[in-house]
Amino acid sequence: MAHDVALTREGSAVSRLAAGRSRYLPRADGAVRRTFRALLMAQVYGVWRRHLRRHGRWSRSARLSILECGAGPGFLLRALRHGWPEARLLGLDVDAELLDFARGQAPHADFVQADAMRLPFGEQCYDAVVALHVVEHLGCPEAFLREARRVLRPGGLLALATPNPHGIGARVMGRRWVGWSDASHVALRAPPSWRAAVQAHGFSVVKDGTTGLSGIPLLRRWPLALLNWGPLYVFGFFPWRHGEAYVCIARADPVPPAPPMQPAEDR
């Protein structure tokens, strides 16, 4: 799982039970550390909130419906509440333990235990679907993309982030790179592959790019960490392909793509 501070998710997988549940829960720290973590997470996920607001063109008073797949500890849902107090927020995860923790972090949101590849919702019922560091855990990311397009209203936003196996961090660290060392990462792809998959499933890419260089441990240490994290707090991601995580914000096309034709012998 990528370690970029901005525009990443700390433990937000959907099909990751084999990796162990407890690793995705925040540590049981004391009051001071919990306060610091809360302030840090507010900054981290505030970047996503700004991008959704900019590209969705939604006012603060908008009554949106936003679905987060892989809600993890619930930090993003808490940040989204500050952006849209009237929004209907729903967090989805397969991990019951994480959902219990997330309810404490985001009591204003609703939660459901389900699989992102089979969303238990009707068609065109959400304005935004967010999946931060989720698709790399899915056996069939295309199933999630189809489901995301199905539940999004035309013009709605899809926002996703996923580790970049072609980034500088992956090349420098080799098999020690955190993306390769996580056994639950079953769908690691290059940015052009993700972009093509998003477009093939009824979306127009609004903005994409990659994050910084925090896959290199030296650049996660102070004071060098400031060179990586500072720009991420401001911009979130950059228009290059060599960063630690691929980030994509896409808009649902007015007309969903037609389902693929089955071969004659399968009909």
Burial (0-12, 13-18, 19+ Cβ within 10 Å), 130: buried
Q: What pLDDT, on the 0 to 100 scale, is given for residue 48?
A: 92
pLDDT tier for residue 265 given thresholds of 50, 70 and 90: low
Q: What pLDDT, on the 0 to 100 scale, is given for residue 45?
A: 87
What would the 3-class secondary structure string for the chain be? CCCCCCCCCCCCCCCCHHHCCHHHCCCCCCHHHHHHHHHHHHHHHHHHHHHHHHHHCCCCCCCCEEEEECCCCCHHHHHHHHHCCCCEEEEEECCHHHHHHHHHHCCCCEEEECCCCCCCCCCCCEEEEEEECCHHHCCCHHHHHHHHHHHEEEEEEEEEEEECCCCHHHHHHHHHCHHHHCCCCCCCCCHHHHHHHHHHCCEEEEEEEECCCCCCHHHHCCCHHHHHHHHHHHHCCECCCCCCEEEEEEEECCCCCCCCCCCHHHC
Q: What pLDDT, on the 0 to 100 scale, is given for residue 219?
A: 82
pLDDT at 228 over 60: yes
pLDDT tier for residue 231 given thresholds of 50, 70 and 90: confident
pLDDT at 142 over 90: yes
Q: What pLDDT, on the 0 to 100 scale, is given for residue 27?
A: 62
**Cα distance between residue 37 and residue 12, in whole Å:** 17
Six token digits for residue 181: 């060392």
Over residues 184-207, the mean pLDDT reads: 97
pLDDT at 195 over 50: yes
- pLDDT tens-digit readout, 143-175: 999 999 999 999 999 999 999 999 999 999 999
Please, what is the average pLDDT of the chain?
A: 86
Over residues 192-217, the mean pLDDT reads: 96
Spatial CA neighbour of 136 closest among 94, 187, 92, 95: 187
pLDDT at 184 over 80: yes
Q: Show the domains of the chain with their CATH numbers.
A: 29-254 (3.40.50.150)
Q: What are phi and psi of 25, to 5 degrees?
A: -90, 140
Percentage with pLDDT > 90 across the chain: 69
Over residues 67-90, the mean pLDDT reads: 95
Q: What pLDDT, on the 0 to 100 scale, is given for residue 15?
A: 41
Q: What pLDDT, on the 0 to 100 scale, is given for residue 233?
A: 79
pLDDT at 241 over 90: yes
Q: What pLDDT, on the 0 to 100 scale, is given for residue 17?
A: 40
Beta-carbon contacts of 13 under 8 Å, excluding residues fewer than 6 positions away, are: 1, 19, 24, 70, 72, 133, 134, 136, 137, 184
Q: What are phi and psi of 113, to 5 degrees?
A: -90, 110
Q: What pLDDT, on the 0 to 100 scale, is given for residue 8?
A: 37
pLDDT at 97 over 50: yes
- pLDDT tens-digit readout, 3-50: 333 343 333 334 444 344 446 766 665 665 666 556 666 677 889 999
pLDDT tier for residue 74 given thresholds of 50, 70 and 90: very high
Query: Beta strand 126-132 with 152-163: parallel, antiparallel or unpaired?
Result: parallel
